Amino acid sequence: MKLKVRNLSKTIKGNIVLNHISLEMESGHIYGLQGKNGCGKTMLMRAICGLILCQEGQIEIDGKIMGKDMTFPDNVGALIENPSFLPNCSGMDNLELLAAIRKKVSKEEIRGTLEKVGLNPDDPKKYRKYSLGMKQRLGIACAIMEKPELVILDEPFNALDISGVELIREMIFRLKEEGALVILACHDREELENLSDHIFVMNGGRIIEEI
């Protein structure tokens, strides 16, 4: 997969939140987005997922232009802010319901994904009773369960304990090894630098540096 962002700009109520962003990314790599609160990392991720439209510029994935040749990328899994799940269903039931939309993965595969993020697929606990870390793990499982080629993870380590951080770090490396294109934002600079092959440093909606 080749992802090209060209001259992308977005203004919300007079505020420039993305300012002439251009970048290229390809499969088999982890790309980190670094920058202060409010610098535009989440907005950029949302734009790449097709969740927001931008006034200027273009996002092209494998030669297809977003908003023209496609509404959303074909094969994307994303964890952006707090995903919504049904409060009165278990984690497994929530994922099964979502998987029924595209019918890409079997029940067994969903169980495997839950185990990968350290959740027990047989746990009957309802989502509303989940701890923050369990919610985070379920959000990550949801993002990766259909084995997307493009994985977007905004602060995946939030609320995770040390073993959770280690598990998810390994999982992200494995996604890359399996050929995914991973885009990651994480406030822990060391963690981000350790995981990423390439880092885009953002400030005020712009990319100010590439590492």
Ligand X SMILES: Nc1ncnc2c1ncn2[C@@H]1O[C@H](COP(=O)(O)OP(=O)(O)OP(=O)(O)O)[C@@H](O)[C@H]1O
Site residues (vs ligand X, CB under 6 A): 12-13, 15, 17, 35, 37-43
Smaller CB separation from ligand X, 74 or 193: 193
Smaller CB separation from ligand X, 116 or 135: 135
* Strand-pair partners of 117: none
- For the bound state, the minimum distance from the C-beta of residue 197 to ligand X, rounded and expressed in Å, comes to 20
- For the bound state, the minimum distance from the C-beta of residue 62 to ligand X, rounded and expressed in Å, comes to 25
Q: DSSP for 101-154?
A: HH--S-HHHHHHHHHHTT--TT---BGGG--HHHHHHHHHHHHHTT--SEEEEE
Smallest CA-to-CA distance from 77 within 8, 162, 171, 10 is with 171
Torsion over CA: 205, 68, 175, 145 (sign): positive
- For the bound state, the minimum distance from the C-beta of residue 17 to ligand X, rounded and expressed in Å, comes to 4
Helix boundaries (H) for the chain? 41-49, 91-102, 107-116, 132-144, 162-177, 189-195
Smaller CB separation from ligand X, 23 or 145: 23
- For the bound state, the minimum distance from the C-beta of residue 176 to ligand X, rounded and expressed in Å, comes to 22
